[in-house]
Structure 1
Amino acid sequence: MTEAKPPRCQLDLIERQNRPTSVIQEDLWSLIRDSDDASRAYNIESVYDIRGPLDIPALMAAVDAVVNRHHALRTVLAESPEGVQQMVLPPVSGVLATHDFSARTPDERTALLEEAVTTESARLFSFTDAPPVRFSLYRMAPDEHVLVIVVHHLVFDGWSMGVLLHDLADAYDLARAGRPLPTADGVRQFGDFAEHQRQWLASPEAGRMTDHWVRRLRHTPEGTTVPYDHPAPDGLSFAGDRCDFELPDALARHIREVARSERVTPTAVAMLGYQLLMRELSGQEDVAVGLPLANRGWPGARDCVGLLINTHVLRQRLPTATPTRDLLHTTADLLAGAVQNQAIPLRNVYQELLERYGEEALPRYLYQTLFICHTHPHTDLRLGDATVERRPFDQRASKADMTLNLWVRAEGISGQLEYNTDLYTPRTAARVVRRYEETLTAVVEDLVW
């Protein structure tokens, strides 16, 4: 196996069908363009152990096909008098870089791989002259490989990963069979979405959605957070770590049972637990947390690769005297309203709040912690007869004070607390996870009895 050359693409050959950025993409660009730390924090990495027969030429062809199928994966950005523009690079080849560590000792292979994965996950993208995605394959033994995918959040979100892995598996099967590979024909592209979104923002529907959020966020308090262990640094900090956990099987089962009996979703039960935890830790009954939503209601958006998510603020008053059942149904109603009105970007809501009530009526931060219940289709990477398992990897970055991630699946409920290490100690993170489990247990018991 030889090391592949970088993808062949020249900036002077860029397709001149420029498109506007989406609103959230423009906001993220303004955050990362002058900060390497911020840009690095928004790298999204996935690492896969592959054991068994692997057709490397077929995988190389499949990777090229997927990158060429989804324009977002070969999109660069450029400043212009009209604002930031998306430009799509011509079809690329040789995207998959290959490395061979199989001749080294076991200890050397482990050390080399760890160093390579860490370096790849942290390496910056240029955004101006090369695709915002990297695929690297490391050969550890004849039938043992590690695949590393790194793509920037600027063109990608969690839902997009499922689309990418599904298309990569299909393209690999086609390449092995010598059949034509998938193309971009008929695929809804991210540039189409961004252009449509800019036009839609002037519509009555967009105005109605803005009103929905403005009514709920008028005189909103400072975004709720957990008291800091350390003084907050000046400016944004992205230093982070993660605390992984699994809810006990019995608790996960009871959450589903309560949700079913109360005719709400498990997400509503989990969200209420988080809100009650924030009430306890912050001492505030008026709780506001960030809620990223998939925003996949657009025609063709389910199979689109791009940054479509919108983050909104779920605000709820949680008086201690209110019965848990009433709080749960309020949470469920607020979540339903958030989903129905998720298409309007938060920036537009903030601007409307500013115009109506003035800067003095707005907090510094609408949210400081995030709650994410991952409901997008979960797709494992499938590569023919090989066994593929995702390898845990921690980039050690945090985009908020704290972010609680939950994955609700048939086999159980797993979680991950991402926290800013400039603000919190590992002991505090572990305490938050423990109290969250205890709070959920109390919610379930209260609703059952």
Structure 2
Amino acid sequence: MTAEAPLSYAQQLLAAFAVHDGGSVFGGGFVNWCAHELTGPVEPELLQEALDELVVRHGGLRTVVVRDEGFPFQRVVAPAPVPLRVHDAAVSIPDERVRATARITAEALARPLPPGQVPLIAADLVRFGPDESALILLIHRTVADGWTMQVAIRDVVTAYERRRRGSADAVEPPPQYADHALTESSPEREKRIQEALPYWREQLSGVRRVGIPADRPRPDAAADTGREKALHTFELPDAVVAGLRARARTLRTTEFTLLLTAYAVALAGHAGQPRIALPVLSAGRGAGDWDGIGFYLNGHVLRLTLSGAMTAAEAAAHVHQVNAEALQHDVPLIRVLEELPELAEAAFDARDIVPAPMQLCRPIPRADDPGAAVHYRRLTLPPDVVRETPVMPVDFLWVMEPYDSFVVRVTYDPAMFEAASVDRIARRFRATADRLVTSPNTPLASLLAATPEEVGG
């Protein structure tokens, strides 16, 4: 296993954010977390062993970012036991169990998880009864994206099952994050990047604003420390989701393209202008990385022109073309920002224009194990109890999670955005998504200019 490696491109992007946000990226509070309901008997001793195995197998969980020895790099160190706290809660009503889990999650998030201290994971087990419990996992974001959390819970439950059965079967080693970073810095990868960068220079040269106007300017850095994000959530109805999938086939595009179109229209309507530079986050994982734990996230900036003369379907065709070209010229976002300093300045330094990245998080495939004693289900915790930490330290982030239902989670800085503004963007998104399903020939002008109430939002 690789002992040292350069920072991945995703980690370099985090480091760039650290320059502009006072270094919170490398603080003990910048963590990713998940909570899952466990059904079946859970023995804390076996769970501890399963968690410790996760750290041994996944080098990312024992990878520290070294920043005080010249050029930053990552170092994989020896494993250490995972801190596991066990809580007993005499709660029988399901909703009360969720709130109890949320309170314990909030307590766990209040404890620092320093990125220089291994392991970069902590866990809390909440026991409600012999066969009912909840497992909370926290992983520092320098080595964890959204997909990582799904890999982590799957691998912990799988390792627990093996121990429960007394199995000694060999387990295939997972992809290692340090190896991913080394592959990124290979001459072959650099050659592909150099071939693709001219496309991005042409597409994004001259961009002076990335995202949407805020209701209020970003507060001074001195007032920025420790400010929590607010959360706005809603569900996209099953009928609309099914309709988008069917419409995507008709339009020879993808469900994601139509969701992206609806979001772009919502942002353009909020900004009051047809041209918008929209960041789109992607998993950033190659074919061999999907079972790995690490921060792989990548993104690209789409420069879209949503003319009012277009129909909704024509807008989707435009978004499809621009996004397809971006994927054909896939380049780490940090390299594009280095190539175009004015783009980086627009993204990082503007106080009143806020990048508003969009991300679609697909659920991880699960292995079917009908003989498993423990089954897990992701919990959605009440936002009034658990604070939100976006996957990137940004002031507005739109994440779509099509798990048990299609949930949209918008995290935003309440010092910069009114809740009513976020709600209007969400309603315009829903209205546009509905028009793409029911009447794709709707003129885009009516969606861009009208209020969400006027378009039926």
TM range (shorter): 0.7 to 0.9
| C-alpha distance in 1 between matches for 2:127 and 2:89 | 6
Q: Give the corresponding residue for 2:4.
A: 18
Deviation at 1:286, TM superposition (A): 1.1
CA pair 204-59 structure 1, distance change in 2 beyond 3 A: same
Measure how far apart 1:292 and its partner are.
Answer: 0.8
Percent identical: 23
Distance of 1:37 and 1:72 partners within structure 2: 17
Q: What residue number does 2:272 align with?
A: 283
Aligned to 1:273: 262
Q: Is 1:122 aligned to 2:110, yes or no?
A: yes
Secondary structure of 2:440 counterpart = helix
Which of 397, 400, 404 pairs up with 2:398?
A: 404
Are residues 88 and 203 of structure 1, via their aligned partners in 2, closer, same or farther at CA, if it must alter by over 3 Å? closer
Q: 2:204 & 2:40 partners in 1: Cα distance?
A: 54
1:348 aligned residue (335, 341, 363) = 335
| Residues 92-148 of structure 1 deviation map (CA, whole Å, 9 limit, x = unaligned) | 33x251323347999999987544320212332222232111122122333332211
Quote the residue 1:66 is aligned against.
54
- How has the CA–CA distance of structure 1 residues 403 and 121 changed in structure 2, closer, same or farther, with 3 Å as cutoff? same
SS at match of 2:119: coil
CA deviation after TM superposition for structure 1 residue 40, in Å: 5.8
Deviation per residue, 1:310-354 (Å, 9 max, x gap): 122111111111233222112112222233333x22221122224
> What is the TM-score of this pair, normalised by structure 2?
0.82
Give 1:404's aligned amino acid. Answer: W
Matched, 1:441 2:434: yes
1:210 to 188, 194, 197: 197
> Are the structure 2 counterparts of residues 105 and 305 from structure 1 closer, same or farther at C-alpha, using a change threshold of 3 Å?
closer
Q: Residues 38 and 195 (structure 1 numbering): CA distance in 2 closer, same or farther, change over 3 Å?
A: closer
Distance 1:104 1:404 in 2: 34
Instruction: Supply the distance in 1 between the matched residues of 2:54 and 2:44 (Cα, whole angstroms).
Output: 15
**Correspondence for 1:191:** 178
How much does 1:221 deviate? 3.6
Unaligned stretches of 5+ in structure 2? 443-457
Q: Which residue is 2:123 aligned to?
A: 135
Question: C-alpha separation between the residues in 2 aligned to 1:201 and 1:131?
Answer: 33
* Matching residue of 1:56: 44
Pick aligned residue for 1:293 from 276, 282, 285: 282
The one-letter code sitting in structure 1 at the alignment partner of 2:231 is: R
Q: Does 1:368 align with 2:355?
A: yes
Instruction: Give the aligned residue type for 1:169.
Output: V
Q: CA deviation at 1:363?
A: 8.6
Assess, with a 3 A threshold, how the Cα gap between structure 1 residues 226 and 250 changes in structure 2: closer, same or farther: farther
Of 233, 243, 246 in structure 2, the residue corresponding to residue 244 of structure 1 is 233
Q: Gaps spanning 5+ residues in structure 1: where?
A: 1-14
- Between 1:215-224 and 1:437-446, the stretch displaced more is 437-446
* Aligned-partner residue type, residue 267 of structure 2: M
1:210 to partner: Cα distance: 1.7
Tell me the amino acid that sits aligned with residue 268 of structure 1. T
- Secondary structure in structure 2 of the residue aligned to 1:203: helix
Alpha-carbon offset, residue 364 of structure 1? 4.2
Structure 2 distance, partners of 1:373, 1:108, is 30
Deviations 1:345-403 (A, max 9, x none): 2221122224xx89999994596101112235355998933453322234234533322
Evaluate the alpha carbon distance shift between residue 64 and residue 40 of structure 1 in structure 2; reply closer, same or farther with a 3 A threshold.
closer
Q: Which residue of 1 aligns with 2:324?
A: 336
Q: Deviations over 1:186-216 (max 9, x none)?
A: 4321101112212348732111222222221
The residue aligned with 1:262 is 251
Q: 2:312–2:441: 8 Å Cα contact kept in structure 1?
A: no
Confirm whether residue 318 of structure 1 aligns to residue 310 of structure 2: no
Please give the alpha-carbon distance, in whole angstroms, between the structure 2 residues aligned to 1:201 and 1:297. 14
Aligned-partner SS, 1:123 = coil
Q: Residue 145 of structure 1 is aligned with which of 112, 133, 136?
A: 133
Q: Which moves more between the two structures, 245-254 or 138-147?
A: 138-147
Once residues 144 and 264 of structure 1 are traced to their aligned partners in structure 2, the CA distance between those partners, rounded to angstroms, is: 43
Q: Indicate conservation of the 8 Å contact 1:73/1:133, yes or no.
A: yes
Whether 1:165 and 2:153 are equivalent positions in the alignment is: yes
Matches within 5 A, 1:19-34: 19-29=5-15, 31-32=17-18
Matched, 1:428 2:415: no
CA 1:282/1:30 → structure 2, altered by over 3 Å: closer, same or farther?
closer
Moved over 6 A (4+): 103-112, 357-363, 380-383
For 2:452, the equivalent position in structure 1 comes to none
Could you say which residue in structure 2 is the equivalent of 1:155? 143
Q: What SS is found at the alignment partner of 1:396?
A: coil
In structure 1, distance between residues paired with 2:241 and 2:323: 20
Q: 1:318/1:54 Cα in 2 relative to 1: closer, same or farther (>3 Å)?
A: same
C-alpha distance in structure 2 between counterparts of 1:43 and 1:256, whole Å: 33
* CA–CA distance in structure 2, aligned partners of residues 414 and 57 of structure 1: 35
RMSD between superposed Cα atoms in Å: 3.4
Match of 1:433, as an amino acid?
A
Pairwise CA distance, 1:149: 0.1
Q: Give SS of 1:149's match.
A: strand
Deviation at 1:309, TM superposition (A): 1.4
C-alpha distance in structure 2 between counterparts of 1:407 and 1:103, whole Å: 31
In the alignment, is the contact (CA less than 8 A) between 1:44 and 1:121 conserved in 2?
no
Cα distance change of structure 1 residues 169 and 202 upon mapping to structure 2, 3 Å threshold? closer
**How far apart, in 1, do the equivalents of 2:124 and 2:196 lie?**
42
Change (3 A) 1:310 1:16: closer
State the alpha-carbon separation in 2 of the partners of residues 296 and 114 from structure 1.
Answer: 31
* CA distance in 1 between partners of 2:368 and 2:112 (Å): 25
Q: Which amino acid aligns with 1:234?
A: D
Deviation at 1:261? Answer: 0.4
CA contact (8 A) 2:79 2:119 kept: no
Count of residues in Structure 1 that have an aligned counterpart in Structure 2: 427
Hey, what does 1:9 align to over in structure 2? none
2:408 is matched with which residue? 415
CA contact (8 A) 1:125 1:132 kept: yes
